[in-house]
Every structure is written in C-alpha cells, then in structure tokens.
Structure 1
Amino acid sequence: MTDAAAPSRNKVISNPYIHRLQRRHFLLFDIAPIIGTVAALALLPVLPFGATEIALLAGMWLVSGLGITVGYHRLFTHRTFRATPFAESMLAITGSMAGQGGVVSWVAIHRRHHEFSDRDGDPHSPNLSGDGLRGVLRGLVHSHFLWMRRHEYPNIAHYAPDLLRNRRLVNVSRHYYWWFALGVAVPTVVGGLVHLSWQGALAGLLWGGFVRVFLLEHIIWAINSFLHRWGSKPYESRENSRNGAVFSLLTFGESWHNNHHAFPSSPNFGLQWYRPDPGYWLIRGLSAVGLVSDLKNPAAEQIAAKRIRTDERKAAA
C-alpha cells in the first residue's frame, strides 16, 4: 500500500470514556489542590508553619517544576537535547510529581498546541472566544483552567510515536498516579519526622503537597493564558506568543514564550546569557556531568534573522 493510499490516522479522540477520565483528573489534580490550599491557610493558627514547611514547599516546587520544563517540555516534547536513560527516567518521574498528567499524554497535548497554536484545534488558546471584554475573559478562563475539564484528546499514536517506542518511558507514564503520590508522600513523611507529630505530617502534606501543586499549576497555566495575549514579541512566530521577562525565574525560563515558539528546538528559552533561564541552567549542569548531550541551540545568525525590527513591532502594535 502506498502512502497516498494509506488510511489517515485520526489526530484526536473524543468519546464519553475519555471525557470521564478528564473530569476525574480535573477534580483530583486541579480542584483538590485549591481545596488543600484553602485548608492550609485556614489551619495556619493550629498547624506548624515555619522553616520546614517553607523548605518543603520550595524544594518540591523546584523538583517538580524543573521536571516539567526540562523533562516534559524541552526533552520529551521538543527533543532539544539528548539524555541518558537514567536522566530521562528521573525527569519523567519528577515531572509526574507536578500533577499535570502522564508524560506521554502531556507531550501529545503540547505538540498539538504547537501544531495549531492560536488556531482552531489548539486545546488551550485564549484567542478563540470572541472579541470584546467578554470574549477576552472567556478565553483567558478557558485557556488557563477550564479547558482541562473536557477536550479532544490527541491521539498519542499520532503525536507521540517516539515515546511509545520507549518502553521505559511508557512504563513511567503508566505509573503516573504512583509518582504523583510519591511527590506528596515525601513532604508528608519529612514533615512528620521533623516535628515528630501527625500535625507536622499534615503540614508537610498541605504545604509540600497541595499548596506546591496549586502554585506550580497556576504559574505554568499563566503561560498558556496571559502570555498568548500580553507581553513583548521580539521574534517572528505565526501565533500570538509573548515574552514575560519579569516572570522568568518564577517560571524556570518558560516565560520566554515568544522565544520558545520562534525557536522550539532550542533548549535555551532565554537565547541570550542575560535572560535568566533556570531550566537551561539545569540542562547545562547535566551536560557538564555527562547526563545530557547534543544541545540544539540556534546559531546567532538564525536568531538575528527572526528578530522583528523596532518599526515592525510598532506597526504591529
């Protein structure tokens, strides 16, 4: 059978079973962290909150956040560098702890986003809900949060065949719920051991678990929503991606979003040394110890060729 005669593969799957799974994930991993964060704040007068809880929150946020940006995004979705099997597994596991879905599903969704960015087919564009204030607000709420309740599920056989051929990664993805549970159990156990009480364990669960997931999720989601509407656009790209320089450290470099869409195969989202990109700092560190290699940074002339001149930016504005 020739390629022309081969049957076309469906790019998305939409059926009641998939939508039930999406609603369940939305409740467990998107709504529950909100409830847990409210509980953590309400229980401040009676539960420990000090250096231990702050360290657990910051430490687990750093581990799971870098797992998302370096692992899920730059390595598995865009293949911006190569990693050893050990590094691949560790990045997939720590990314799973963020509660944003198994690595194979996440990659399929994000590749579809790049294919249809800010056009029909984009799972989470803020720019497809009409004009005016109402359209803007509806688009922002959809792209930031509500799209996850129910959406067309990208066919992983179409969007992530490379990951499906990697049995080790498929196995990590299948155990996504267990890796997430591990990411919640670690701060719970540490909090209990430090304080030698169940109150300490509960505080560790709330701050290193629920609050950490809540903060990380909304930081990452803000890139989908706000940075597809507002910010600077120094490089040519067909969609409405923007940079948010002020958030670069908080987002592990992900807020250099226009840079990323202009050069999706680059592991360095900042592109220049003076633009902070903690995700790239980790990649450079892993490269120095031989865990990653083949960093596909664009050449200076490639970057210059895509730069939008000042007069063009003013005209676009």
Structure 2
Amino acid sequence: MASPSAVPPDLAAAPVPWSERLLIVLFVVVPFLAVLAAVPFAWGWGLGWRDVIIAVAMYLVTGFGVTVGYHRHFTHRSFQARTWLRVLMAVAGGMSLQGPVIRWVADHRRHHKYADKEGDPHSPWRFGPGFAGLARGLSHAHVGWLFSPERTSRRRFCPDLLADRPIRFLSHNLTYVPVVLLSLGLPALAGGLWGGSWQAALTACFWGGLVRVFVLHHVTWSINSICHTFGKEEFAVRDRSRNVRWLALVSLGEAWHNLHHADPTCARHGVLRGQIDPSARLIWLFERLGWVWEVRWPDAGRVAARRVPAG
C-alpha cells in the first residue's frame, strides 16, 4: 500500500483532475441519482408521503445510532452515557445493518491508528495516486474492504467493550439477528398500522427498510472513500482526511472529517462557522436532559492550534 509519504507532496494542493471527479460521480452520485429517479416513477404506485415519513424517521434513528452511538460514543468515547441509552444506541446503530457494534468499533479504531498507511482497512490511497490507483482505491475504500478475509482483532482494539457485558451481548452474531429483523420489521409494522393494509406494510418496508439501508450505507462508506480523497483541509493532520461540505448534512455531521482526524475524541466535528453538525446537536440535547455527561466539546485553544492558515 502506498503511504502518504509516497504521494507527491504537492498533490494535496493541486486541483482535483476531472478523471478523479468522474470516479466520485460513479461511486457516490450515480447511486443516489438512481434512487431519486425512482421516486417520481413510484409516486402513487408504491410510494407516498407515509413511506417518505417512515423512511426519514428510520434514517435518522439508525443514522444517529451510527454517528452518535457507534462512532462518537463507543469508538472515541466523546461522552459518557447512561446504560439504557448505551444499549439503545447500540441497537439503533446495529439497525443500520453495518454489523455488530464491537466489530464496527474495532475496524474504526484500527483505521485511526493507521490512517492512510499500511494497516488502514479502508484507505482509498491503498494502491497509490493516479487514475488507475485511485479507481482501485476508491472501490476498496467504499465497499471492497468489507469483503476482505482479514478481520480486525477485537481483543486488541476493543478490550473495554469486550468487558462491557450488555455491549458484548449485543455484539454476538446470534443476538444481532433480531436487530436486523427489527430494522426491516419496524418500518413494515409502522406502515401496516398507519395504512391499515399489507400493501402499506410492504411499501414501508421497501422504502423505510431496504432503500433507507442502501442510502445510509453509501453515505457511511463515502466518509471512508470520498472524505479521504478530496475536499478541504482546514486542520493539520497526518493523513488525507478532508471536509466535504456537500456530504455534511446527509451524513449528520460526519463529513466534517478533517477536524475529526485532527481531534478524534471531540464530540463536535463541524466546529467552524456554518458547519452544521446534527449529531453534535443531539449529544447537546442528551447532555441537557442529563442522559450523557463528560462531553468533550471543542476546546478553542486546540482548534486554533490545529487550524491551517487560510489561503
């Protein structure tokens, strides 16, 4: 794998070539456009406002389960939380169908330890720069790494979670099966009760279950691929993590990825003016309600010290 030192030092400052932008369109934009194109064709023939509302609600529940739960709490310990909330966050994150919590955390902690170097499970720079190398790298970082026979050691990267009985229980494969069924069954149940028919249950399961999982998967994978390929470097880091503004809202604040790698335990990733971070706002609400504490909010001194001068 090509390490950052193998990348030409002026590459980060150079304009992104059209060929690399084309790869981004193929990997991320095209799937979203395909889903959006299906909406007007399906409207009234298997899609209505009921399905949209259920799908958005499920996206927010499972998306925050990943961003606030899996990522900021379990992986980076950005805040402490009550046991019942930890369990709910683990279940909500599991309903994203991105795997049990300890497996997810182990992979992500390993990613931070070796970011864009040998050992990183999903760096887009694995095969070096250039069109061919980046094409392979983006494919690997976006989804290919999930099919690798190599598995991250949970004992090495997650001894704290393995010692946590409720979280260890929720991370067993057999325990994860009901979480998967809940992810698809909950929107079907909501649709059936709301619409009063099996057809309403099926369409809600499709849009609030399968399509919602598809969209959230691509958004999460885009943080691995796109946010390590191009974007804006606003904070000094030792890897290729960047901020990607157009992904920020749909990723619930995760696309402010550059600051996250500069200060991984910070509970807020969008720290500059205009950087909306819905996940940080939810953590703030939990703190106000007394459900979480010891929140690691941004420190002005650390933020200033890591800031890259404008221009």
TM-score range, shorter chain: 0.7 to 0.9
Deviation at 1:298, TM superposition (A): 3.5
The aligned residue for residue 243 of structure 1 is 243
SS at match of 1:207: helix
Q: Partners in 2 of 1:177 and 1:267 — Cα distance?
A: 30
Q: Partners in 2 of 1:123 and 1:276 — Cα distance?
A: 28
**Matching of residue 208 in structure 1 with residue 208 in structure 2:** yes
Q: Which runs of 5+ in 2 are unaligned?
A: 1-30
Q: CA RMSD in A?
A: 2.1
SS at match of 2:237: coil
**Matching of residue 267 in structure 1 with residue 304 in structure 2:** no
Deviation at 1:47, TM superposition (A): 4.4
Structure 2 residue aligned with 1:86, among 75, 84, 87? 84
Q: Which runs of 5+ in 1 are unaligned?
A: 1-32, 312-317
The aligned residue for residue 199 of structure 1 is 199
4+ residue runs over 4 A deviation = 40-43
The aligned residue for residue 143 of structure 1 is 141
Instruction: Name which of structure 1's ranges 148-157 and 203-212 shifts more when overlaid on structure 2.
Output: 148-157
Deviation digits for residues 13-46 of structure 1 (CA, Å, limit 9, x no counterpart):
xxxxxxxxxxxxxxxxxxxx99xx79x8799378
TM-score by length of 1: 0.83
The aligned residue for residue 3 of structure 2 is none
CA contact (8 A) 2:267 2:298 kept: no
Deviation at 1:194, TM superposition (A): 2.3
Deviation at 1:195, TM superposition (A): 2.4
Instruction: Name which of structure 1's ranges 178-187 and 284-293 shifts more when overlaid on structure 2.
Output: 178-187
Q: Partners in 1 of 2:197 and 2:294 — Cα distance?
A: 48
The aligned residue for residue 228 of structure 1 is 228
The aligned residue for residue 309 of structure 2 is 309
Deviation at 1:229, TM superposition (A): 0.9
Give percent identity, aligned residues only. 39
Deviation at 1:268, TM superposition (A): 0.5
The aligned residue for residue 277 of structure 1 is 277
Q: Partners in 2 of 1:83 and 1:62 — Cα distance?
A: 19
After TM superposition, list the pairs within 5 Å mapping 1:65-214 onto structure 2: 65-174=63-172, 175-214=175-214
CA contact (8 A) 1:126 1:140 kept: yes
Distance 1:233 1:302, change over 3 A: same
The aligned residue for residue 15 of structure 2 is none
SS at match of 2:233: coil
Deviation at 1:94, TM superposition (A): 0.4
Distance 1:42 1:308, change over 3 A: closer
Q: Partners in 1 of 2:163 and 2:141 — Cα distance?
A: 31
- Tell me the matched-pair count: 276
CA contact (8 A) 1:96 1:180 kept: yes
Q: Partners in 2 of 1:110 and 1:303 — Cα distance?
A: 23
After TM superposition, list the pairs within 5 Å mapping 1:25-40 onto structure 2: none
CA contact (8 A) 1:191 1:203 kept: yes
SS at match of 2:171: helix
